[in-house]
Structure 1
Amino acid sequence: MPARVLLTRPGPRGEVLARALEACGITTTALDVLRFESVALSASARAALLDLDLFHGIIVVSPQAATCLAEAIASYWPQLPQGLRFYAVGEATARTLHAELGVPAVIPARGEGEDSEALLEVASLKAVAGKRLLLARGESGRELLRERLRERGADVETVALYRRRYHPPSPPMDKWLESGDFAALVVTSGEILQHLVTWCGPVALNQPLIVSSQRLATLAGTLGFGSPHVASGASPAALSAEIRAVLDPRGATSDQGDHEKGKRR
């Protein structure tokens, strides 16, 4: 089996994942099919940022959104308004918010996943009737958070801070996808999965596909992928563990056994 693992996560987070895997002796290649571009704020987005102190909470969907939000806030608020509660879909987004704005963020409970569905299970987002919430995100994406929170009675305003630009895989990676010349493909975004399926030949569709949620595994099945494997989350540690388990089940079993022995000592 070819040794290379194809990664699709863009930017610094993709580099962190690559380093984690390479530290385990796994060769990786970044497909680089997605890049982020900042967008000019709309009039409604500028108005929302000027009224930032009137919101009860700010929901941030990705590390990229957190970085762009911090830059936008700095243009309007020399000092962050007091009393804002931040929500993040996962630990990486929460860490970015803390690094950029110095604020803590509410995240889904450990083990519940790192996506919109998991964040909606947070207790304080179940009682939002009459509250004004700001959703920081890209130009396009899933509408689940906005729709569910509005169903719960919240006044939700969206600020689009960036756009995604998708590119074809460059040679020779396009041929690898066509022929299935890789050991595993790692995808943490439904949009990337839908973008890549165009280039995947029959063999590639049946190579191991590592995804970060059951939702993505379901989508993968509808797109024709025959071997999805669901990691316990979207973090580099969770993805690395699942990749290692798929590529070397015996080693993963041995590691687990050693871990259990260590706990019993």
Structure 2
Amino acid sequence: MLLLADSGATKTDWYIGNNPTDGLQFQTEGINPFHQSPSIICTILEKQLLPHLPVSPASCHRIFFYGAGCTPAKSLEVARILQIFFTNAQIFVESDLLGAARSACKDHPGIACILGTGSNSCLYDGRQIVRNIPPLGYILGDEGSGAYLGKRFIGDCLKGQLPEKLRDGLLEEYKLTMADILDRVYRQPQANRFLAGFTPYIYRHKEETEVQHFLSDCFREFFLRNILPYESDQPVSFVGSIAWFFRKEIEETARQMNISVGTFVKSPIEGLKVYHF
């Protein structure tokens, strides 16, 4: 039996089965070895993953885990943790970016991007990543991501760059003051998730002229800093919730910049089921 996982900053999508249609799909908390200790990851697996499994862990013979923060060194760490619970399994741990490329592009060359809570991109040859522009996280980079949109939007609201009605509506809906926002961003953990939490509000107001200009600027920054440096004419494909829900705005920005767009996949796990089976 095959177990697949696609793990981002917010959640992990799991799929277990013998084929791509009749298995079981479910979610747990996100697993990121860069931000979480081995003990925390073990707890997530024990408390959230194992109770969902329809069979004994010993029945899993292969595991493909694609995760944020899974650098080569951290991949070994995650594999060792998984082996504790899945003693009979052959385990492969790869980056979430390779998972995105295999999900969106399958075995065709292209540029693959993640636009979710964070963002990333790569040049993919149909099998492996051949070049990656570092995303640098939501403070230094992550352009186009949910955290980036949230950071830019709340900053523009508080600095008067967007209409007062958008600022007041946001503060009222989320029951926040400026002091609350500063505390959550600078003093509390997982500020990226907090900032990405504003994207549903942005989405609901995306037809307003000022928000359209805002989104165009944000996605233009993504293309300028993460796609054009590849100097490739391969189509750009996307996975992730931000790409899925803001597809129209992304496609329009790409058209204005003469960038060819490929496929959009809401959840990488769907494409990975097809790729691996």
TM-score normalised to the size of structure 2? 0.27
TM-score normalised to the size of structure 1? 0.28
